[in-house]
């Protein structure tokens, strides 16, 4: 049976630099959803690491 009240998720608002529960700010200003508040608080670090990984993959692709 489906949950009638699913958790709205955790987001990090880049405009206000804060964690938010649910879709508080517009989507353009949010990173997420994340499974919990602690992960949302790490959103900028997660994004930085993903960007570094993608940049490395792109450099490796260009070298082939």
Q: Per residue in 26-52, pLDDT tens?
A: 999 999 999 999 999 999 999 999 999
Here the tokens at position 63 are 């070298």
Q: How confident is the model at residue 63 (pLDDT cuts 50, 70, 90)?
A: confident
- Rounded distance between C-alpha atoms, residue 27 and residue 19, angstroms: 13
pTM strictly above 0.85? no
Do 60 and 52 meet the contact criterion of CB atoms below 8 Å apart? no
Q: How confident is the model at residue 6 (pLDDT cuts 50, 70, 90)?
A: confident
């Amino acid at each position: 049976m489906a949950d009638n009240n699913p958790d709205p998720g955790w987001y990090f608002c880049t405009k206000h630099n804060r964690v938010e529960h649910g879709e508080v700010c517009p989507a353009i200003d949010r990173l997420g959803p994340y499974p919990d508040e602690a992960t949302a608080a790490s959103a900028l670090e997660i994004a930085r690491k993903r960007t570094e990984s993608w940049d490395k993959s792109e450099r490796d692709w260009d070298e082939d």
